[in-house]
Amino acid sequence: MILVTGGAGFIGSNFVLDWRAAHPGEAVVNLDALTYAGNRENLAALDGDTGHVFVQGDITDRALVDRLLAEHRPRAIVHFAAESHVDRSIHGPGAFMKTNIDGTFTLLEAARGYWATLGEPEKAAFRFLHVSTDEVYGSLGPQDPPFAETNPYEPNSPYSASKAASDHLVRAWHHTYGLPVLTTNCSNNYGPFHFPEKLIPLMIVNALAGKPLPVYGDGMQIRDWLYVKDHCSAIRRVLEGGRVGETYNVGGWNEKPNIEIVQRICALLDELRPSPEGSYTRLITYVKDRPGHDRRYAIDARKIERELGWRPAETFETGIRKTVQWYLDNAAWAQRVQSGAYRDWVQKQYAA
């Protein structure tokens, strides 16, 4: 049994689905607060699966977390639950401090108490795997080498600052209390079930609806893109063989400027779902850049390759084609997650 937090969100739900496929004999307790980005529908394929126990609840609820640990006795906690959107953190940083910092602290303390009750060999085998982001490292210059695990932390947004704080808590609980932790810092994920506030799904759903495709500034912000199922396989590998107390950067070896991503999505939609109005590139609209927008991220993923033998299976070309096709095949899902509150937020964010 493992406990997963945030397992109804984008990356978490993909992880839970893949875990049940890869480890059918090991159950998952899935704790998620079902905020705007959490969606039980992501987990519909597990309906009737007795190896998936879903619990709606908040990771800051210590009594609930204690009860789940005592009742289910997991051998590991895989911690995805987080507020994760930079733009939302600019408008409302408080929720990010609560979930990402207070929530991680609550989980660590609950895990420490539970871990102390375990006998051998369960105590030696227990792991707390914290899933984090490359944004904690700040921004890279055009010629700077990619982020390595030894890079100093230089977060530039409320979101990345809150994740940096949570990373430091995880490290401290290992060095102070001996809690057997692992941390992963990933690059930008994309793929199925991605909530359409982020770049790739927003471009897809807006293009299909004939709406503007908002591109910040000059569109030359560079990110390293990682297909979500590759990220899930990396987390499974770190959980299986990672060295306690270590951090592993997980990247896709796919540095791309945002405008190139948008143009590639338009080209795929021109091929797979052509519009009678002409190429989807006609919808590209440049908008005012967001405050503190990091110019470039890139991940050096050689450590996880060297120590654990992991590399991404997807290139960007194969991954983005699968992603666009998924949204074409699951238009009803995308429509349902775009509530009135979501539409109001998009209007507020990109009105300028």
Helix (H) / strand (E) containing 54: strand 52-56
- Check: CB of residue 181 under 8 Å from CB of residue 115: no
Please say if 135 is a catalytic residue.
Answer: yes
β-bridge mates for residue 299, sequence order: 147
Please say if 230 is a catalytic residue.
Answer: no
Strand, helix or coil for residue 257: strand
Q: How far apart are CA 133 and CA 55, in angstroms?
A: 25
Whether the bond between 121 and the residue before it is cis, its omega within 30 degrees of 0, is yes
Name the active-site residue from 58, 83, 87, 159: 159
Name the active-site residue from 87, 135, 255, 300: 135
Q: How far apart are CA 307 and CA 258, in angstroms?
A: 31
- Check: CB of residue 229 under 8 Å from CB of residue 18: yes
Please say if 122 is a catalytic residue.
Answer: no
Phi, psi of 35 (to 5 degrees): -75, -170
Name the active-site residue from 32, 83, 134, 230: 134
Helix (H) / strand (E) containing 158: helix 158-177
Catalytic residue numbers, as ranges: 134-135, 159
